Chains A and B, each alone.
Chain A
Amino acid sequence: MLMLEKRPQPSRIWTWATPPLAVLVTMIAGGALFAALGKDPVEAIATIFWKPLFGEFAFYYRPQLLIKAAPLILIATGLSLGFRAGVWNIGAEGQYILGALTGAGVGLALYPLDSAVVFPLMVIAGALGGWAWAMVPALLKVRFGTNEILVSLMLVYVAEQLLAAMALGPMRNPDGHGFPGSRNLRDYPSAHNAEIIEGTGMHWGVAAAVIAVTAAYVLLSRHILGFQIRLAGQAPRAARFSGVRPGRLVVVCLGTSGALAGLAGLFEVAGPAGQVSIDFNVGYGFTAIIVAFLGRLHPVGIALAGLLMALTYIGGEMAQSTLGLPAAAIQLFQGMLLFFLLAVDLLTNYRIRFRKKEAA
């Protein structure tokens, strides 16, 4: 019979082999799901994973992939630092909103000033906005020992209300006939997060994501802070003995992830989204949590996972409109990915043994 035997050490091979395996299993189970819905499973899977990259309209979808992946990677990279240290920031969605609000707020306040400083100021304001929102759970945890998971999550709902209030009130477009939503920042060149090279999808948010991934990699592998983060997560007692100050770590981890989420929000509102609107946030802050774990909390892994997640979104949309798959089936498919990842993770920590039943 099958037996599970705990490994003395998590398997290094399986740590890296499980994500691709999870993707593979998802494709099979997803294919079965699509077949049950009366669609050709091979075509559906190909539409999701192949067509956006190599299909007829790949010239449009490849840039879109970067646009969709950039905020996910930016946020997930920040979250992964905290997750490694055992600091659970679940409220990146709120920090993302705040970054968009403060960043766009600066841009809208300076409208119609035509100057090269507008966009850099917005970037700084966006990072600060996200950072400040993350400081609330950080300081409450350090000072009063509150649970950062709950506080950061609850602040998402506060941020959503604030977003609605801003879109309807102070930031509303004065030329918008009373409709909610701010001016479109894409029509304001000084504030527009335009593509760095036209047609590539490479806007400043993509550049920021690349920088964040590189910086996180260097930090974790070369810097003493990175060592402390890893140590605090793996052996909290040992960390304390070696001089890690847990309070400082909480502030640094939440602050960094908040600032990165804020940046992601700013780049999104000044570029692809264009305006502060009531429905500005679409869940990047939550999806980034999946991306962080799918990427094994490793910067390079996160970059790959972010791209993969973006692919399932874009391919999923394509499957909807070309094959008539319902939206719910696509969401189910994305959910399966996390489900199977967690399931096959068993292999990292356990060995499967075939054993004959022993006589009683």
Chain B
Amino acid sequence: MKLTQLLTSAALALGLATTAVAQDKTKVGFIYVGPIGDGGWTYEHDKGRLAIEEQFGDAVETVYQESVPEGADAERAITQMALQGADLIFTTSFGFMEATLAVAKKFPDVKFEHATGYKTLPNVSTYSARFYEGRAVQGLIAGRMTQSNIIGYIASYPIPEVIRGINSAYLHARKVNPDVEFKIIWAYTWFDPAKEADAAQALIEQGADVILQHTDSTAPQAAAEKAGNVITFGQASDMAEYKPLPRVSSIIDNWAPYYIDRTQAVIDGTWESQQVWHGIGKGMVKIGEITDAVPADVKAEALALKEAIASGEYHPFTGPINRQDGSAWLAEGEIADDGTLLGMDFYVEGISGQIPN
């Protein structure tokens, strides 16, 4: 246990040192899975970081490390930030979970915030957004807009968050267009423009005229633009440079308010471990501008759905919904509980194909 002791004492020494300086500066660190210029997931987290800088000015210093591989290297990157005196560290990818916990145990005085995970400690919180709410709106537009009735979906990894997104989009596409069919490609990456472009191309060749993506780059947008007559949605970020076509709308992750809140809590000494899962209502998920490429009535319908979700009047997973194998999941009017949603590992009825495993 020598190392742990050494690290703890170093952390304590630093803790003391930072309290001495804390009057003027709080240090907030960010660990990113992709480059800050990915135009999607990491780009939005970095906008949150910049929002902290703007909000607190000289009272806060931020540091970040980009393109950190998920695995053994992440643990070193996080430790490094803790050693250098960070008071609050955001680790912004699911794959950083084990590493975040391991480091958090060695630095009990440093606060950690892990995005999209499920394990917490007294000094580790988790936070995520209910992206599936945005997917519902997206699914509705996709179902209305498709001519070929084939919707392509570029999925990243078969984890509950991604499966939830597919299910939500599918349910709401089918609701407005019973003939709709989903073709899903698993890219096994969050960010790989070449792979994502290949996947988009393959889907277009299979007849898809709507491409939904759960990967972070703008490569699918570019592929759709080149193909013509294919519409897309911005993922994680607005991807506004592809407006008005192929990008007809987007799901935007809006982390800034949460990041500012948590930084404030650390400054005030009121930070506590929690698990947060906010949606459209709290503004963590935003729907980007729906362009004029979408007919006015469809746009109105989509905005109405968004409002209903935001006000809590409607939940995207409201029964009756069956599982893919035909067994009943939610009865008429029943609403899915968060536990099932967080661990979702099945498709809903109507989606063809298997979840890889």
Contact = CB atoms under 8 A, between A and B. Distances in A.
Contacts of A320: 65-66
Given A165-B356, A274-B98, A280-B71, A177 B35 contact: no
Interface in A127-175: 164-165, 168-169, 172
Contact of A169 (B36, B75, B357): B357
A322 B63 contact: yes
Interface string B75-89: 111011101100000
Interface in A275-312: 275, 277-280, 282
B76 to A, nearest CB: 6
A18 interface: no
Interface in B56-73: 63-67, 69-73
B303 interface: no
Q: How large is the interface on A (under 10, 10 to 19, 20 to 34, 35 or more residues)?
A: 35 or more
Interface residues of B, number: 43
B80 to A, nearest CB: 6
Contact of A177 (B7, B79, B118): B118
Contacts of B10: 57, 59-60
Interface string A177-217: 11110001010000000010011000000000000000000
Nearest to B32: A327
B98 A184 contact: yes
Contacts of B75: 272
A177 B343 contact: yes
Nearest to A187: B98
Contacts of B98: 184, 274-275
A57 B98 CA distance: 23
Interface in B26-40: 29, 35-36
A246 B72 CA distance: 39
A180 B66 CA distance: 23
A317 B71 contact: no
A180 B157 contact: yes
A199 B2 contact: yes
A228 interface: no
Given A178-B344, A279-B71, A321-B64, A168 B356 contact: yes
Q: Indicate the member of B35, B95, B188 with the most A CB atoms within 10 Å.
A: B188
Residue from the set A164, A279, A326 with the largest chain B CB neighbour count within 10 Å: A279
A168 B67 CA distance: 23
Interface string B9-30: 0100000000000000000010
B345 interface: yes
A322 B84 contact: yes
Nearest to A282: B69
Given A178-B160, A278-B157, A324-B63, A64 B2 contact: no
Given A57-B83, A179-B159, A277 B70 contact: yes
A177 B65 contact: no
Contact of A60 (B67, B83, B158, B345): B83
B342 interface: yes
Nearest to A280: B71
B65 A317 contact: yes
Given A169-B357, A178-B344, A317 B76 contact: yes
A275 B102 CA distance: 13
A277 B71 CA distance: 8
Indicate the member of A273, A324, A328 with the most B CB atoms within 10 Å.
A273
17 contacts: A60-B7, A63-B3, A165-B356, A177-B160, A177-B342, A178-B159, A178-B343, A178-B344, A178-B345, A180-B157, A180-B159, A186-B102, A199-B6, A274-B72, A278-B157, A327-B65, A327-B67
Given A199-B3, A274-B98, 18 more contacts: A57-B84, A60-B83, A164-B188, A168-B357, A178-B160, A186-B102, A198-B3, A268-B72, A277-B71, A279-B70, A279-B71, A314-B76, A317-B73, A320-B66, A321-B84, A326-B36, A327-B66, A327-B67
Interface of A: 57, 59-60, 63-64, 67, 164-165, 168-169, 172, 177-180, 184, 186, 195, 198-199, 268, 272-275, 277-280, 282, 314, 317-318, 320-322, 324, 326-328
Those 10 A-B pairs whose CB atoms lie nearest each other, nearest first: A272-B72, A199-B3, A178-B345, A327-B67, A169-B357, A199-B2, A273-B72, A321-B65, A168-B357, A279-B70
